[in-house]
């Protein structure tokens, strides 16, 4: 289950460790400086005629061309180096910080009603070692995503952490602190 992402912010702002849907996060578009945008794209028809589709937080790469609001959006990089996942192991719920990216592929658009620039994070199928955590994960991205729509391969690493990050008011290094003995290394 994809929860929230660990991400730095725009210049001179403190590093972020816990960004929840609806909050502002750093994005970059080709040839432009980083800026803040809301994590949740709204469909252009949201609020008209009583129809209220849910906000779009993530978008499967394979569905972008078939979804009008996503097909019209611009490619962006979402600042982030990892994301949080939870899985039930036996009767207990375990949490991991899965990291290794230098940015995520995103799609950004401005909602015409509120004028707020907002983004969704592009998801790709998870490689075999990560399938136990999630079937999908954020697409790693860099300049090739902005210019050509090509994604980066990411050597993801998973570190078991506490569930401290579940409280969106927690936004510090304790969100990604390894459980147990950090000298043991990561799961893969």
Q: How many CA atoms lie within 13 A of 152 on its CB side?
A: 20
Average pLDDT, the chain: 83
Give the residue with greater pLDDT, 111 vs 63.
63
pLDDT in tens, 47-61: 545 556 778 999 999
Class of domain 2-184: alpha beta
Express each pLDDT in 72-84 by its tens digit.
999 999 998 898 9
Q: How confident is residue 162, by pLDDT bands cut at 50, 70 and 90?
A: very high
Q: What is the pTM of this model?
A: 0.84
- The C-alpha atoms of residue 187 and residue 94 are separated, in whole angstroms, by 13
Quote the pLDDT of residue 13: 63
3-state SS, residue 186: coil
Q: How far, in Å, CA of 168 to CA of 16, rounded? A: 11
pLDDT at 185: 53
pLDDT, tens digit, 9 for 90 and up, residues 101-128: 888 999 999 877 778 899 999 999 877 7
What are the Cα distances from residue 168, in Å, to 1, 106, 128, 186? 16, 22, 30, 25
DSSP 3-state of 129 = helix
Q: What pLDDT is stored for residue 141 in this prediction?
A: 87
pLDDT in tens, 16-49: 899 999 999 999 999 888 899 999 988 766 554 5
Neighbour tally for 25: CB within 10 Å = 25
For residue 73, the 8-state DSSP code is S
What are the residue boundaries of the structural domains of the chain, listed by start? 2-184
Q: First CA to last CA across the chain, in angstroms?
A: 18
- pLDDT of 3 higher than 50: no
Give me the pLDDT at residue 42, please. 80
């Amino acid at each position: 289950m994809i929860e929230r992402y660990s991400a730095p912010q725009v210049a001179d702002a403190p590093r972020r460790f816990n960004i929840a849907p609806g909050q502002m996060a750093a994005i970059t578009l080709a040839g432009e400086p980083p800026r803040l945008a809301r994590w949740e794209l709204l469909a252009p028809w949201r609020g008209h005629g009583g129809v209220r589709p849910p906000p779009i937080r993530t978008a499967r790469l394979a569905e972008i061309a078939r979804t009008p609001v996503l097909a019209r959006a611009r490619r962006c990089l979402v600042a982030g180096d990892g994301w949080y996942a939870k899985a039930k192991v036996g009767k207990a719920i375990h949490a991991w910080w899965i990291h290794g990216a230098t940015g995520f592929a995103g799609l950004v658009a401005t909602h015409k009603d509120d004028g707020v620039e907002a983004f969704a994070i592009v998801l790709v199928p998870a490689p075999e070692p990560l399938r136990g955590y999630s079937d999908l994960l954020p697409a790693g991205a860099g300049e090739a995503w902005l210019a050509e729509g090509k994604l980066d391969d990411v050597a993801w690493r998973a570190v078991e952490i506490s569930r401290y990050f579940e409280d969106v008011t927690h936004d510090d290094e304790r969100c990604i602190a390894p459980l147990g003995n950090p000298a043991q290394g990561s799961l893969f």
